[in-house]
Amino acid sequence: MSLSREQLEAQLHYPLGDTLPASGRSLEVAPGVRWIRMALPFALDHINLWLLRDEIDGQQGWTVVDCCIARDEAKAQWEAIFANELQGLPVLRVIVTHMHPDHIGLADWLCQRWNCRLWVSATDYAMARLGSQSTTGFGGEAAADFFAANGLSNPESLAKIRGRASYYPSLVPSVPNEYHRLYDGLQVPIGGHRWRCISGYGHAPEHMALHCEELGVLISGDMVLPRISTNVSVYDQEPEADSLTLFLDSLEKYLPLPADTLVLPSHGKPFTGLHERIQQLKDHHRDRLDEVMQACSEKPCSGADVLPVLFPRALDLHQTTFAMGEAVAHLHWLWMAGELRRARDAQGVWRFSAR
Ligand SMILES: [Zn+2]
Give the mean model confidence (pLDDT) for residues 329-341.
98
- 8 A C-beta contact, residue 94 and residue 56: no
For 50-100, what is each residue's pLDDT tens digit? Answer: 999 999 999 999 999 999 999 999 999 999 999 999 999 999 999 999 999
For 11-41, what is each residue's pLDDT tens digit? Answer: 999 999 999 999 999 999 999 999 999 999 9
Give the mean model confidence (pLDDT) for residues 301-307.
97
Distance of CA 300 from the midpoint of ligand 1 (Å): 31
Distance of CA 45 from the midpoint of ligand 1 (Å): 13
- 8 A C-beta contact, residue 206 and residue 69: no
Distance of CA 297 from the midpoint of ligand 1 (Å): 32
Distance of CA 102 from the midpoint of ligand 1 (Å): 7
Distance of CA 65 from the midpoint of ligand 1 (Å): 14
- 8 A C-beta contact, residue 298 and residue 352: no
With a cut of 90, say whether residue 134 has pLDDT above it. Answer: no
Distance of CA 100 from the midpoint of ligand 1 (Å): 5
Cα separation values, 9 from 4, 248, 292, 349, Å: 9, 20, 25, 39
For 191-207, what is each residue's pLDDT tens digit? Answer: 999 999 999 999 999 99
The pLDDT > 90 percentage for the chain reads 89
Distance of CA 203 from the midpoint of ligand 1 (Å): 6
Distance of CA 222 from the midpoint of ligand 1 (Å): 5
Distance of CA 91 from the midpoint of ligand 1 (Å): 23
pLDDT of residue 137: 56
Distance of CA 345 from the midpoint of ligand 1 (Å): 33
Distance of CA 57 from the midpoint of ligand 1 (Å): 31
Distance of CA 131 from the midpoint of ligand 1 (Å): 14
Q: Name the nearest CA neighbour of 304 among 284, 321, 324.
A: 324
